[in-house]
Chain A
Amino acid sequence: MAYEGDELLENVTSKEYEFGFTTNIESDKAPAGLNEDIIRLISSKKNEPQWLLDWRLEAFKIFQKMTEPEWAHVKYEKPNLQAISFYAAPKQKKVLNSLDEMDPELRKTMEKLGISIEEQKRLSGVAVDFVMDSVSVATSFKEKLGELGIIFCSISDAIQEHPELIKQYLGTVVPRTDNYYAALNSAVFTDGSFCYIPKGVRCPMELSTYFRINEAGTGQFERTLLIADEESYVSYLEGCTAPQRDENQLHAAVVELVAMRDAEIKYSTVQNWYPGDKDGKGGVFNFVTKRGMCEGANSKISWTQVETGSAVTWKYPSCILKGDNSVGEFYSVAVTNHFQQADTGTKMIHIGKNTKSTIISKGISSGRSQNSYRGLVQIGKNASNARNFSQCDSLLMTDTSGAHTFPYIEVNNSTAKVEHEATTSKIGEDQIFYCLQRGLDEEQAVSMIVNGYAKDVLNKLPMEFAVEAQKLLAISLEGSVG
């Protein structure tokens, strides 16, 4: 089969963003621009304690001294921060006792996203903390989790109700000085999720948050903090969709995970933000800092991500393996289409003895997109017997797309063992023809081949998420060969 570039582009255009709709909810919105007054406004709107305001202002000072990083393999017009409104909250009159009291408009939005909350509650036992435009509007299962001593709430609520935990952990994994966007986030974060699993508790259900950017021109600065105390376990799901927009939207989230001795955190993400149209216009800028600290011995942090959205992605969920025998894992599928650009990967920082890390990255590039894996494996001088295995595969769907791999390895301990494997392949015309000859159409063929290719990663996702991710892969690549 001959895959002609023009034909391909035409086919690619046939698929517009499925979740491009806007919810009509009045927003309580700050004026555009970034300065100390805005930060004070955010802090006071959220009724924050003085120490947190001071912390934000300090972050802002740090931020002002930094410049936007340019090392990533992406090109874009830098967002004008003075044109962004840094605070928007859906106007909610009262606190909800149950989801039934929720604004019907919000309910509709969730239904369009395919999240029937009742259904989720009933069928899968997933507690959903739904974040829309930075403020949580509903948290389910809170009481049930409460019985186990699990705290799962918006970070704003946690600041009010559990200030000691926030004060103890906020910014300890991703310090304000970490990078440009982490500093910005620290100054202006509006909401996000907080989770604390007490000692010895296995969280009985998948904790889930659906993020959604809703207000046009609103920057999103989510802050997530998740702490797994000794011998605890939690699996956390994060899923994202955003409505279609003409202007670029900036999203600079920070996610911090802390795993204490013998604790395990599984953090799974399905990301499907608006990637821009066929001409590369619009789309979300996703500049995220995600990091987990394996603080205690025998702790484990697993990142699994399926990335199909955003115009520009800059994201490296990482693990600091501080505790002896701690384990870090990173499983990623990143799909780029049209003019999307993704520079994503991980950092595995081995500090403790006998620490182990595994990296499996599967990139899929289509259209005229650029897809880069960038990863660092660092073995500290005290990290004796550290082990790493990395596998980075790239699948090219078109001749016009690009796949790049930038693996960095720094070893400072001679007992370490680091393995790196990388492959690049083009989707097989023979494979597609084989499927066609068995009666499958081309979309099914591509979907099947790609899902097979990404299977090692998809298998790491919790069941209900894996199904969603498979659908997403199919949607993202519809019409991408032909």
Chain B
Amino acid sequence: MLKIENLQARIEEKEILKGLSLTVGEGEVHAIMGPNGSGKSTLASVLAGREDYEVTGGTVTFNGKDLLDMPAEERAREGLFLAFQYPVEIPGVSNMNFLKAAVGEVRKHRGLEALTAKEFLQLVKEKSELVELDGQLANRAVNEGFSGGEKKRNEIFQMAMLNPSLCVLDETDSGLDIDALRIVSEGVNAMRDGKRSFVVITHYQRLLDHIVPDFVHVLYKGKIVKSGTKELALELEEKGYDWLKETEDAK
């Protein structure tokens, strides 16, 4: 599904990713944890194709294709979805029109027929229920005036609408209260079908109580320094990152 090898990337003159490797198989859920500034969000941005970041080395293969060779929109159409940490507001553009255009492009790229208005509305109804998103929100401008929790639910709603094969969740739990966390997690879990893969970036173990990962990786100074199963997350929760930092910095 996704194979990252020795990925190096920088923003302006600052090296952030320094040889990151990660393989995500079909249907797997990988959690990426790590202290602040370790490069977690950079990884998400580089995968999604944000141009502020310059890839200086390494390769990324997505479903057998060279991901780094594709512009951002093509990555999205190929099935890579990024749930943003800070979803932006687009004033005056209704969520519906936005999604209709996005779903249209994605389906076209995948050789699927355009949805009829009725089919589209049906899909909206079905998927918005997944994250308990009020019908009203769907008709408002994209993220405009949404609460933090609504924005994150809207991300998962869009994810469900676009039917990606790889979902990258960038600190989706940040700013969520317990209820919103549960709703978002349930939405994500409902999309786990044994085929779709997830890369879940988070600071906290608590998200992983809801979205249980197959693998947990610790990112530190632009590299994965430790990998394990969900027990690793619990260990981190208990011990913090310092013991890993010390080992790593000693090298």
Write the residues of chain A forming the contact surface with B, with a CB cutoff of 8 angstroms: 1-2, 428-431, 433-442, 444, 448-449, 451-456
Contacts and interface: CB of A to CB of B under 8 A. Distances in A.
Given A434-B84, A448-B90, A453-B91, A440 B50 contact: no
Nearest to B159: A438
Interface string B64-76: 0000000111011
Given A438-B98, A440-B102, A452 B51 contact: no
Contact of B72 (A433, A448, A451): A433
A452 B158 CA distance: 19
A455 B92 contact: yes
Residue picked from B49, B52, B92, B102, most chain A C-beta under 10 Å: B92
B52 A1 contact: yes
Interface in B197-227: none
Given A1-B50, A1-B51, A2-B52, A438 B90 contact: no
A436 B71 CA distance: 9
B101 interface: yes
A440 B101 contact: yes
A466 to B, nearest CB: 13
Contacts of B90: 431, 434-435, 448-449, 452
Contacts of B92: 451-456
Contacts of A444: 101, 105
Nearest to A3: B51
B91 A439 contact: no
B93 A441 contact: no
B88 A452 contact: no
B18 interface: no
Contacts of B73: 436-437, 439-442
A449 B77 CA distance: 20
A24 B60 CA distance: 58
Interface of B: 48-52, 71-73, 75-77, 81-82, 84, 87-88, 90-93, 97-99, 101-102, 105-106, 109, 141, 158, 162
Contacts of A442: 73
A437 B98 contact: no
A2 B51 CA distance: 7
21 contacts: A1-B50, A2-B51, A428-B88, A431-B90, A433-B72, A436-B72, A436-B76, A437-B48, A437-B72, A437-B76, A437-B82, A438-B98, A438-B162, A439-B73, A440-B73, A440-B101, A448-B97, A448-B101, A452-B91, A455-B92, A456-B92
Interface centre among A434, A438, A441 (most CB of B within 10 A): A438
A210 to B, nearest CB: 28
B70 to A, nearest CB: 11
**Residue of A436, A437, A456 with most partner-chain B CB within 10 A:** A437
Nearest to B54: A2
3 nearest A-B pairs in the assembled complex, by CB-CB distance: A452-B92, A452-B93, A455-B92
B17 to A, nearest CB: 18
Contact of B50 (A433, A438, A441, A455): A433
Contacts of B106: 438-439
B144 to A, nearest CB: 9
A201 to B, nearest CB: 36
A429 B51 CA distance: 10
A2 B73 CA distance: 16
Contacts of B50: 1, 433
A49 to B, nearest CB: 51
A444 B76 CA distance: 14
Nearest to B87: A434
Given A435-B98, A439-B162, 9 more contacts: A434-B84, A434-B88, A436-B72, A437-B81, A438-B99, A439-B105, A439-B106, A448-B90, A452-B91
Nearest to A434: B88
Residue of A437, A439, A442, A451 with highest tally of chain B CB at under 10 A:
A439
* Highest count of chain B CB atoms <10 Å: which of A428, A434, A456: A434
